[in-house]
Chains A and B, each alone.
Chain A
Amino acid sequence: MLRRQSDLLLGILLTLILIGLAVSSILPPFLQGLVAFPIVLFVPGNALIRAIFPEANLTRLDRFLFTVGLSLGVVVLSGLALNITPWGLQTKSWLWILSLVILVTSVIALWRRWQISDMELTPVEFYIPLRQILLLGLAIVVIGLALKLTLTPHLPDNIQGYTSLWILPELGTQSDVLLIGIHSQELETTNYSLQFTYNGEAIQKFPDISLESGSQWQYNISVPSGQGLVEAVLYRVDSPGIIYRHVSFTLNK
Chain B
Amino acid sequence: MKVLGIEDARSGGQISAVHVHRTPTLGRLPGVVLLSSFGLLSIALVFVNGLVGTTWADLFYWLGLLLIILPVAFRLFSLSVSRLERIGLVTYTGLSLYLVKVMHNPFMFTFSDELLHYRNADNILGSRFLFGENSILPVSAFYPGLETVTTAIASLSGLSLFTSGLLVIGVARLVIMLALYLLFEQVSRSSRVAGLAVLLYMANSNFLYWSAQFSYESLSLPLGILVLYALVKQTSTKDRQMKGGLTLVMLLLISAIIITHHVTSYALFTFLVILSIAYSFLQIRTKRKQPNTWGLALVTGGLTLIWLFLVANSTTDYLSQIFKQAFASVLLLFTGEESGRALFTSSVGIIAPLWERMVGIGSVLLIFIGILSGLFVLWRRRRLAPFTIVLAMAAQLYFVALGLRFTGAGWEVANRTSEFLFVGIAYLIAFGFGALRLRYPKNHSIAFVFTGYMAILIVGGVIAGWPPDLRISKPTLVSVNGTTLQPQGLVASSWILANHGSDNQMIAPTSDALMMLAYGRQHAKTGKIYAIQELLTKKHDLKWQTEILQTVQTRFVVTDRRRVSWDGMLGPYFSPTGVTLTNEVFFFPAEIFNLFDEQAQIPRIFDSGDIVIYDVGGLSSVTQTK
Q: Give me the interface of A with B, judged by CB distance under 8 Å.
A: 18, 22, 29, 32-33, 35-37, 39-41, 48-49, 52-53, 55, 57-58, 61-62, 64-66, 68-70, 72-80, 83, 87-91, 94-95, 98, 125-129, 131-133, 135-136, 138-140, 142-143, 145-147, 149-168, 183, 185, 187-188, 212-215, 229, 244-250
Contact = CB atoms under 8 A, between A and B. Distances in A.
A91 B167 CA distance: 18
Contacts of A62: 182, 233
A80 B574 contact: no
Interface string B194-205: 000000000000
B106 A79 contact: no
B375 to A, nearest CB: 29
A89 B152 contact: yes
Contacts of B605: 166-168, 247, 249
Minimum-distance CB pairs A-B, first 7: A88-B128, A79-B148, A214-B483, A29-B158, A135-B30, A146-B44, A33-B157
B128 A89 contact: yes
Interface string B597-626: 000111111111110000000100000000
Interface in B261-280: none
30 contacts: A33-B153, A36-B157, A40-B156, A55-B241, A61-B182, A66-B249, A69-B223, A73-B223, A89-B130, A89-B155, A90-B155, A127-B23, A132-B29, A135-B33, A139-B33, A142-B34, A146-B44, A149-B48, A150-B473, A154-B48, A154-B49, A155-B479, A159-B576, A161-B480, A164-B488, A165-B607, A185-B491, A212-B481, A248-B600, A250-B601
Interface in B561-603: 574-578, 600-603
A82 to B, nearest CB: 9
A247 B607 contact: yes
Given A150-B47, A185-B486, A214-B484, A77 B255 contact: yes
A128 B178 CA distance: 22
Interface residues of B, number: 112
Nearest to A230: B603
A73 B249 CA distance: 9
Nearest to A18: B156
Contact of B158 (A32, A129, A132, A249): A32
B473 A57 contact: no
Contacts of B153: 33, 36-37, 40-41
B127 A88 contact: yes
A80 B147 CA distance: 11
A73 B256 contact: yes
A67 to B, nearest CB: 10
Interface in B182-236: 182, 219, 222-223, 226, 229-230, 233
A129 B152 CA distance: 40
Given A72-B256, A152-B479, A65 B179 contact: yes
B31 A37 contact: no
A55 to B, nearest CB: 7
B41 to A, nearest CB: 4
Interface of B: 1-2, 22-26, 29-31, 33-34, 37-38, 40-41, 43-45, 47-50, 52-53, 87, 96, 99, 102-103, 106-107, 124, 127-131, 144-145, 148-149, 151-153, 155-159, 163, 167-168, 171-172, 174-175, 178-179, 182, 219, 222-223, 226, 229-230, 233, 239, 241-242, 245, 248-249, 252-253, 255-256, 259-260, 473, 475, 477-481, 483-486, 488, 491-492, 495, 499, 574-578, 600-610, 618
Contact of A69 (B96, B179, B484, B495): B179
A163 B255 contact: no
Contacts of A165: 606-608
A76 B48 contact: no
B607 A149 contact: no
Given A79-B145, A167-B606, A188-B480, 15 more contacts: A33-B153, A35-B157, A68-B175, A76-B145, A76-B148, A77-B256, A79-B151, A135-B31, A136-B33, A139-B37, A146-B44, A157-B53, A168-B499, A213-B481, A245-B609
B143 to A, nearest CB: 10
Contacts of B45: 149
A154 to B, nearest CB: 4
A247 B606 contact: yes
Given A32-B158, A69-B226, A154-B479, A143 B99 contact: yes
Contacts of B499: 166, 168
B158 A150 contact: no
A135 B249 CA distance: 38
B149 A72 contact: yes
Contacts of B102: 147
Contacts of A69: 175, 179, 222-223, 226, 249, 253
Nearest to B95: A143
Contacts of B574: 159-160
A8 B41 CA distance: 40
Given A154-B49, A159-B574, A248 B604 contact: yes
A33 B253 contact: no
Given A40-B156, A79-B130, A61 B609 contact: no
Nearest to B237: A57
A112 to B, nearest CB: 11
Contacts of B602: 250
B607 A155 contact: no
B585 to A, nearest CB: 16
Given A75-B149, A166-B607, A246-B604, A57 B249 contact: no
- Of A18, A36, A146, most B-chain CB atoms within 10 Å: A146
A52 B41 contact: no
B587 to A, nearest CB: 12
Contact of B159 (A29, A77, A213, A214): A29
A180 to B, nearest CB: 11
Contact of B479 (A53, A145, A153): A153
Contacts of B53: 157-158
B604 A247 contact: yes
B159 A33 contact: yes
B593 to A, nearest CB: 13
Contact of B156 (A55, A95, A154, A187): A95
Nearest to B144: A79
Contacts of A39: 156
B269 to A, nearest CB: 17
A53 B1 contact: no
B220 to A, nearest CB: 10
Nearest to A90: B128
A87 B155 CA distance: 14
A21 to B, nearest CB: 10
A48 B251 CA distance: 13
Contacts of A55: 241
B479 A68 contact: no
Contacts of B178: 61, 64-65
Nearest to A65: B178
Given A128-B26, A168-B499, A229 B600 contact: yes
A213 B492 CA distance: 17
A179 B608 CA distance: 17
B253 A70 contact: yes
B41 A146 contact: yes
A94 B156 contact: yes
Contacts of B1: 125, 127
A246 B612 CA distance: 10
A89 B30 contact: no
Contacts of B156: 18, 22, 32, 36, 39-40, 91, 94-95, 98
A34 to B, nearest CB: 8
Contacts of A149: 41, 44-45, 47-48
Given A89-B124, A149-B48, A160-B575, A75 B242 contact: no
Contacts of A147: 44, 99, 102-103, 106
Contacts of B245: 52-53
Nearest to B255: A77
